[in-house]
A and B are shown apart, each in its own frame.
Chain A
Amino acid sequence: MIAFGQFLEVLVSGLLAGVLYSLVALGFVLIFKASGVFNFAQGAMVLLAGLALVRSLDFMVAKGLPFWAAIIIALLFAALIMAITAWLVERFVLGPLINQDGLTLFMSTIGVTFMIEGGAQMLFGSDVYPLRLFPSDAWFLFESSFPGGILVSKIDVWGGMIAAVLVVGLALFFQKTKTGRALRAVADDHAAAQSVGISLNWIWFIVWLVAGLVALVAATVWGTKLGVQFSITFLALKALPVLIIGGFTSVPGAIVGGLIIGAGEKIAEAYLGPFIGGGIEYWFAYVLALVVLMARPQGLFGERIIERI
Chain B
Amino acid sequence: MFYRETGQFKSSYAADMAIFPIRQDRIALWVVLAAAFVAVPLLDFFQVWPFGGEYILRAILIPFLILSLAAIGLNILTGYCGQLSLGSGAFMAIGAYSTYKFCTGVHIPLELFTISIPPLPVLPSILLGALMSAFVGILFGIPSLRIKGLYLAVATLAAQFFFDWVFIRVKWFTNYTSSGSVAAPDLVFFGFTVTTPIHRYLLCLVFVSIFALLAKNLVRGNIGRQWMATRDMDIAAELMGIRPLYAKLSAFALSSFVMGVAGALWAFVYLGAWEPLAFNIDRSFQILFMVIIGGLGSILGSFLGAAFILVLPILLDQVPHALGVPVSVETVSLLVFVVTGALICWLLIVEPRGFARLWSTGKEKLRLWPYPY
Binding site for B on A (CB under 8 A): 38, 92-93, 96-97, 100, 102-104, 106-108, 110-119, 121-122, 126, 234, 237, 240-241, 244, 248, 277-280, 282-283, 286-287, 289-290, 293-294, 297, 307, 309
Secondary structure at the B interface, as helix, strand, loop or mixed, is helix
Across the two chains, which residue of chain A brings its CB closest to B87? A286
Contact B336 A118 (CB under 8 A): yes
Question: B147's contact among A116, A117, A297, by CB below 8 Å, is which?
Answer: A297
Contact A241 B348 (CB under 8 A): no
Measured CB to CB, the closest approach of chain A to B267, in angstroms, equals 22
Contact A102 B344 (CB under 8 A): no
Measured CB to CB, the closest approach of chain A to B297, in angstroms, equals 13
- A residues near B344, Cβ cutoff 8 Å: 107-108, 110-111, 114
Contact B331 A286 (CB under 8 A): no
Binding site for A on B (CB under 8 A): 82, 84, 143, 146-147, 149-151, 153-155, 157-158, 161-162, 164-165, 168-170, 235-236, 239, 281, 285, 288, 292, 330-331, 334-338, 340-345, 348-349, 352
- A residues near B161, Cβ cutoff 8 Å: 282-283, 286
A-B contact pairs, 22 of them (CB 8 A): A92-B345, A96-B349, A103-B84, A106-B149, A107-B348, A111-B343, A111-B345, A111-B348, A112-B341, A115-B338, A115-B345, A118-B335, A126-B334, A240-B154, A279-B165, A280-B165, A283-B158, A283-B161, A286-B154, A289-B154, A290-B143, A293-B146
- A residues near B285, Cβ cutoff 8 Å: 110
Contact B146 A122 (CB under 8 A): no
| Distance, CA A126 to CA B333, complexed state (A) | 11
Contact B157 A240 (CB under 8 A): yes
Measured CB to CB, the closest approach of chain A to B19, in angstroms, equals 28
Contact A244 B151 (CB under 8 A): yes
- B residues near A282, Cβ cutoff 8 Å: 161, 164-165
Measured CB to CB, the closest approach of chain B to A299, in angstroms, equals 8
| Distance, CA A128 to CA B372, complexed state (A) | 57
Contact A114 B169 (CB under 8 A): no
Secondary structure at the A interface, as helix, strand, loop or mixed, is helix
Across the two chains, which residue of chain B brings its CB closest to A277? B169
Contact B154 A104 (CB under 8 A): no
- A residues near B164, Cβ cutoff 8 Å: 282-283
Measured CB to CB, the closest approach of chain A to B147, in angstroms, equals 5
Question: B337's contact among A108, A118, A280, A283, by CB below 8 Å, is which?
Answer: A118
Measured CB to CB, the closest approach of chain A to B266, in angstroms, equals 22
Task: Known A115-B337, A121-B334, A126-B330; judge A97-B158 contact (CB<8 A).
Answer: no
Question: A286's contact among B158, B236, B330, B340, by CB below 8 Å, is which?
Answer: B158
Question: A294's contact among B143, B149, B168, by CB below 8 Å, is which?
Answer: B143
Contact B349 A97 (CB under 8 A): yes
Measured CB to CB, the closest approach of chain B to A257, in angstroms, equals 12
Contact B169 A108 (CB under 8 A): no
Question: A111's contact among B334, B342, B352, by CB below 8 Å, is which?
Answer: B342
- B residues near A103, Cβ cutoff 8 Å: 82, 84, 149-150
Question: B151's contact among A111, A121, A237, A293, by CB below 8 Å, is which?
Answer: A293
- A residues near B345, Cβ cutoff 8 Å: 92-93, 108, 111-112, 115
- B residues near A122, Cβ cutoff 8 Å: 331, 334-335, 338
- B residues near A117, Cβ cutoff 8 Å: 337, 341
Task: Known A106-B150, A279-B169, A282-B165; judge A289-B158 contact (CB<8 A).
Answer: yes
Question: A118's contact among B149, B169, B281, B338, by CB below 8 Å, is which?
Answer: B338
- B residues near A280, Cβ cutoff 8 Å: 165
Contact B337 A287 (CB under 8 A): no
Measured CB to CB, the closest approach of chain B to A19, in angstroms, equals 21
Across the two chains, which residue of chain A brings its CB closest to B352? A104
- A residues near B341, Cβ cutoff 8 Å: 110-118
Question: A293's contact among B155, B168, B349, by CB below 8 Å, is which?
Answer: B155
- A residues near B150, Cβ cutoff 8 Å: 38, 102-103, 106, 248
| Distance, CA A97 to CA B350, complexed state (A) | 9
- A residues near B335, Cβ cutoff 8 Å: 118, 122
Across the two chains, which residue of chain B brings its CB closest to A97? B349
- A residues near B155, Cβ cutoff 8 Å: 289-290, 293
| Distance, CA A283 to CA B164, complexed state (A) | 9
5 cross-chain pairs, A with B, having the tightest CB-CB distances, nearest first:
A118-B337, A114-B341, A111-B344, A286-B158, A115-B341
Measured CB to CB, the closest approach of chain A to B151, in angstroms, equals 6
Task: Known A282-B164, A293-B155; judge A114-B338 contact (CB<8 A).
Answer: yes
Across the two chains, which residue of chain A brings its CB closest to B336? A118
Task: Known A107-B348, A111-B348; judge A118-B158 contact (CB<8 A).
Answer: no
- A residues near B338, Cβ cutoff 8 Å: 114-115, 118-119, 122
| Distance, CA A42 to CA B193, complexed state (A) | 49
Measured CB to CB, the closest approach of chain B to A42, in angstroms, equals 13
Question: A237's contact among B143, B157, B165, by CB below 8 Å, is which?
Answer: B157
Contact B236 A309 (CB under 8 A): yes
Contact B165 A283 (CB under 8 A): yes
Question: A277's contact among B170, B236, B239, B352, by CB below 8 Å, is which?
Answer: B170
- B residues near A107, Cβ cutoff 8 Å: 84, 292, 344, 348
Question: A307's contact among B169, B235, B331, by CB below 8 Å, is which?
Answer: B235
Across the two chains, which residue of chain A brings its CB closest to B239? A309
